[in-house]
């Protein structure tokens, strides 16, 4: 076959494949056009996840009737006019490809009216020829896309289910609502209203609406010259996924520089993140990919440092955060839905005289599940830490003085006779500054990693609970879920049912696979672990139950959590009852045994 020009219709379909990948792409392009037109209200309506119908209506500037045919031509745009404009693109659209691409792969209609005109006009195609008709309209523009990829069956069969495509679009609309809080967004799917934002201008209110106001959402900001960044973070605990929403100059992007700047902090690799960067237009190259989701920074190192500095401020707030009952910092305290406990600041401000400034969390109404039993282990209270700190200050010598200022070890003299001896001959000696527990045994020493040991205990406890149908917990009052978590739960109802979770039709959590006290976390955190397990299950062949148990046991005690002697004994006893006590579920050893003969050999006393 010789070289020849492709027919115009075929070349348009090929080009459309780069810009329009799925219904999400159509909605994104149309929302960005509405925002560029100065809209303050954007209404999105979908039919069957956008595969049958997509309608985006705004109250923006509108298009004059004579320009409607030009709007759907290739490389026709009102946003740039010269090569110089490419050096500093300040609008979301600029390529002049979106409407042309959508029009090439769908049944396309557009209705628009300028505010200064008395009537508007509509454009639709008849036999491939655009036709403009005068019609009475309100100011603004409405684009209607029907039967997406009707003429590209190969592309259409690769689309996901209607529910899956809808979830993608729902997240997109919510993300743009975060970035443009002064714009009122609404989303309707199959005739049902599923999302609305008021356009009141508060990012924090929107985040609380969509993420939920528990746990607390933290914010930080940093400015340098003409650049600035704002961060919001909701820590969902160690069992949660890392979910990042990032905008650069109002453009929704996915960028490795932003991601790596945040994930460089060990505590930041989890939970919900929102990043909004504002940079000079000339420092950002958005002309990288037709989908415009990839960008290049002219000074990527400065951008990286800018985000890191904002995150460092957030880190200070994180270390000063109230430690509420349980979570990854105080795993043995009562669950978050119990009555508030005393909390304290790590490295935070001190009261006059050098003592730590203690404060109480605000009172909250009791949760319907506050009847849960207390965990087996309980971390030392903040007052206990304060007492130990005062002992150190008063000159009392501790047998294992800590080189970390944030932790302390109880003197062995504090242990009662009952605590210092065990029927099996094991004697608890101390918890090292690094957190390891030291026991004396009849044949030597036993050193225990409390985090790995507790992970093994929780892992096997959860596995056994999942295998016992009698352990399922029907919740007296179903728990309403935050919208983003509800979307994930509804999308994975069948998989969650395999784990004996139950999600009601309204998206509430109504059944757990076990009593929440078994895992030591709240019902919502247990659900997050299950969803995380479902996602990771796709990457390897391990059973879903095993992956879930591995995730759920993340609520285990941390290495730096100080344990009392009775707690240390209880942990060792529980570990010895496990089927595989010598390693945690991830393969790390739980104990180190130093026998008397090994010690004799080390000190050269064999045969003496």
- 431-479 pLDDT per residue, tens: 998 899 999 988 889 999 998 898 888 888 888 877 777 767 888 899 9
DSSP symbol at 216: P
CA-based Rg of the chain, rounded to a whole angstrom?
30
Distance CA 534, CA 331 (A): 24
Q: What is the pLDDT of residue 266?
A: 83
Distance CA 595, CA 442 (A): 9
Q: Which residues of 351-388 are buried (b: 16+ CB within 10 A; e: fewer)?
A: eeeeebeeeeeeeeeebebeebeebebbbbebeebeeb
pLDDT at 543 > cutoff 50: yes
Cβ contacts of residue 422 below 8 Å, gap of 6+?
428, 569
- Determine how many CB atoms are found less than 10 A away from the CB of residue 253: 19
Give the model confidence (pLDDT) of 363-411 as tens digits: 333 333 333 333 333 333 333 333 434 433 443 332 222 322 333 334 4
Mean pLDDT of the chain: 77
Can you read off the two tokens belonging to residue 426?
A: 């094991």
Give the model confidence (pLDDT) of 227-247 as tens digits: 999 999 998 877 678 999 999
Q: What is the pLDDT of residue 394?
A: 41
Distance CA 448, CA 457 (A): 13
Q: What is the pLDDT of residue 184?
A: 96
State the pairing for strand pair 296-297/284-285: antiparallel
Distance CA 302, CA 281 (A): 15
CB 107 within 8 A of CB 147: yes
pLDDT at 15 > cutoff 90: no
State the pairing for strand pair 41-47/184-189: parallel
CB 76 within 8 A of CB 96: yes
Can you read off the two tokens belonging to residue 127?
A: 């036999």
| CA 475 centroid distance within chain | 25
Q: Which of 534, 377, 560 is nearest to 457 (CA)?
A: 377
- Determine how many CB atoms are found less than 10 A away from the CB of residue 136: 8
Of 24 and 314, the structure prediction assigns the larger pLDDT to 24
Q: Which residues of 206-231 are buried (b: 16+ CB within 10 A; e: fewer)?
A: bbbbbbbebbebbbbebeeeebebbb
| CA 308 centroid distance within chain | 19
Q: What is the pLDDT of residue 316?
A: 64
Q: What is the pLDDT of residue 32?
A: 93
What sign has the CA pseudo-torsion 13, 18, 22, 24?
A: negative
Helix (H) or strand (E) holding 192: strand 192-196
Can you read off the two tokens belonging to residue 321?
A: 């955060």
Mean pLDDT, range 510-515, rounded to an integer: 81
Q: Three-state secondary structure along 373-387?
A: CCCCCCCCCHHHHHH
Q: What is the pLDDT of residue 348?
A: 37
Can you read off the two tokens belonging to residue 530?
A: 């299950």
Distance CA 284, CA 306 (A): 15
Strands (E), 387-492: 427-431, 437-441, 444-448, 473-479
Q: CA torsion 260→265→267→269, rounded to 10°?
A: 10
CB 235 within 8 A of CB 324: no
Cβ contacts of residue 505 below 8 Å, gap of 6+?
none
Q: Using the structure block, give the residue that is written with the tokens 């200050």.
A: 393
Give the model confidence (pLDDT) of 256-291 as tens digits: 999 999 998 888 888 899 999 999 989 998 877 766
Can you read off the two tokens belonging to residue 516?
A: 């929440």
Q: Which of 160, 141, 139, 138 is nearest to 149 (CA)?
A: 160
Tell whether omega for the bond before 429 is within 30 degrees of 0, i.e. cis.
no
| Percentage of residues in the chain having pLDDT higher than 70 | 75
Query: Which residue segments constitute the domains of the chain, with CATH numbers given?
Result: 8-197 (3.30.565.10), 204-319 (3.30.230.10), 323-396 (no CATH), 397-449+559-602 (3.30.1540.20), 453-555 (3.30.1370)
pLDDT at 343 > cutoff 70: no
CA angle 133–138–140, rounded 5-degree value: 85
pLDDT band at 3 (very low <50, low <70, confident <90, very high): confident
Q: What is the pLDDT of residue 486?
A: 87
Distance CA 118, CA 139 (A): 9
Q: What is the pLDDT of residue 416?
A: 47
Percent helix, strand and coil across the chain, each to the nearest 5: 35, 20, 45
pLDDT band at 355 (very low <50, low <70, confident <90, very high): very low
pLDDT at 72 > cutoff 80: yes
pTM more than 0.85: no
Q: What is the pLDDT of residue 519?
A: 63
Distance CA 122, CA 43 (A): 18
Q: What is the pLDDT of residue 561?
A: 81
Helix (H) or strand (E) holding 39: none
Distance CA 25, CA 291 (A): 8
pLDDT band at 426 (very low <50, low <70, confident <90, very high): confident
DSSP states of 294-347: --EETTHHHHHHHHHHHHHHHHHHHHTS---SSSSSSTTS--TTSS--EE--SS
What sign has the CA pseudo-torsion 465, 468, 474, 480?
A: positive
pLDDT at 314 > cutoff 50: yes
Can you read off the two tokens belonging to residue 179?
A: 């970035």
Can you read off the two tokens belonging to residue 60?
A: 């923006």
Q: What is the pLDDT of residue 588?
A: 87
Q: What is the pLDDT of residue 393?
A: 43
pLDDT at 415 > cutoff 50: no
CB 337 within 8 A of CB 378: no
Q: CA torsion 282→288→290→294, rounded to 10°?
A: -90
Give the lowest-confidence range in 256-260, 348-352, 595-599.
348-352
What sign has the CA pseudo-torsion 266, 270, 272, 277?
A: positive
Cβ contacts of residue 9 below 8 Å, gap of 6+?
104, 128
pLDDT band at 12 (very low <50, low <70, confident <90, very high): low
Q: What is the pLDDT of residue 380?
A: 37
Give the lowest-confidence range in 109-113, 420-424, 590-594.
420-424
Q: What is the pLDDT of residue 86?
A: 72
| Percentage of residues in the chain having pLDDT higher than 90 | 36
Determine whether 395 is exposed, middle or buried from the number of CB atoms within 10 Å of its CB (0-12, 13-18, 19+).
exposed
DSSP symbol at 83: G
Distance CA 13, CA 15 (A): 5
User: N- to C-terminal Cα distance for the chain?
Assistant: 93
Mean pLDDT, range 207-226, rounded to an integer: 90
């Amino acid at each position: 076959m010789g070289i020849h020009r492709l027919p115009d219709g075929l070349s348009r379909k090929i080009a459309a494949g780069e810009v329009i990948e799925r219904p999400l792409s159509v909605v994104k392009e149309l929302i960005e056009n509405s925002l560029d037109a100065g809209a303050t209200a954007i209404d999105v309506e979908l039919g069957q996840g956008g595969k049958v119908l997509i309608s985006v209506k705004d109250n923006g500037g509108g298009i004059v009737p004579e320009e409607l045919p030009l709007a759907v031509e290739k490389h026709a745009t009102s946003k740039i006019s010269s090569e110089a404009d490419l050096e500093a693109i300040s609008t979301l659209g600029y390529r002049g490809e979106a409407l042309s691409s959508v029009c090439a792969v769908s049944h396309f209609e557009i209705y628009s009216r300028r505010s200064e005109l008395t009537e508007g006009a509509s454009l639709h195609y008849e036999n491939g020829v655009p036709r403009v008709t005068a019609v009475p309209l309100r100011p603004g523009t409405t684009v209607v896309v029907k039967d997406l990829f009707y003429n590209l069956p190969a592309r259409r069969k690769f689309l996901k289910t209607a529910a899956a495509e809808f979830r993608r679009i729902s997240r997109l609309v919510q993300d743009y609502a975060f970035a443009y809080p002064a714009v009122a967004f609404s989303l309707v799917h199959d005739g049902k209203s599923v999302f609305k934002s008021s356009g009141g201008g508060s990012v924090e209110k929107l985040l609380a609406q969509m993420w939920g106001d528990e746990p607390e959402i933290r914010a930080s900001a940093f400015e340098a010259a003409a650049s600035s960044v704002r961060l919001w973070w909701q820590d969902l605990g160690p069992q949660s996924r890392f979910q990042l929403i990032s905008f650069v100059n109002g453009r929704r992007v996915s960028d490795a520089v932003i991601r790596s700047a945040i994930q460089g902090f060990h505590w930041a690799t989890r939970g919900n993140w929102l990043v909004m960067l504002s940079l000079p237009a000339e420092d950002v190259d958005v002309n990288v990919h037709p989908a415009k989701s990839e960008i290049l920074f002219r000074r990527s190192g400065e951008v990286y440092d800018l985000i890191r500095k904002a995150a460092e401020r957030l880190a200070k707030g994180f270390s000063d955060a109230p430690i509420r009952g349980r979570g990854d910092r105080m795993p043995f305290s009562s669950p978050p839905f119990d009555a508030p406990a005393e909390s304290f600041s790590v490295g935070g401000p001190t009261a006059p005289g050098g003592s730590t400034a203690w404060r109480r969390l605000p009172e909250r109404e009791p949760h319907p599940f506050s009847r849960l039993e207390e965990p087996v282990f309980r971390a030392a209270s903040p007052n206990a830490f304060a007492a130990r700190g005062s002992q150190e200050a008063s000159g009392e010598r501790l047998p294992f003085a800590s080189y970390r200022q944030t932790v302390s070890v109880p003197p062995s003299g504090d242990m009662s006779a009952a605590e210092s001896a065990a029927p099996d001959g094991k004697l608890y000696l101390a918890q090292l500054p690094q957190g390891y527990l030291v026991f004396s045994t009849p044949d030597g020493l036993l050193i225990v990693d409390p985090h790995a040991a507790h992970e093994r205990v929780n892992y096997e406890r959860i596995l056994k609970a999942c295998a016992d149908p009698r352990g399922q917990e029907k919740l007296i009052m179903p728990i309403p879920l935050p919208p983003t978590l509800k979307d994930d739960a509804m999308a994975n109802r069948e998989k969650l049912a395999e784990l004996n979770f139950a999600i009601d039709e309204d998206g509430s959590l109504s059944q757990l696979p076990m009593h929440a006290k078994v895992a030591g976390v709240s019902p919502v955190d247990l659900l997050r672990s299950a969803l995380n397990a479902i996602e990771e299950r796709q990457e390897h062949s391990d059973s879903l139950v095993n992956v879930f148990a591995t995730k759920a046991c993340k609520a285990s005690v941390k290495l730096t959590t100080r344990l009392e002697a009775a707690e240390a004994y209880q942990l060792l006893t529980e570990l010895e009852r496990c089927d595989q006590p010598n390693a945690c579920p991830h393969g790390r050893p739980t104990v180190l045994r130093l026998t008397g003969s090994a010690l004799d050999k080390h000190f050269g006393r064999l045969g003496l």
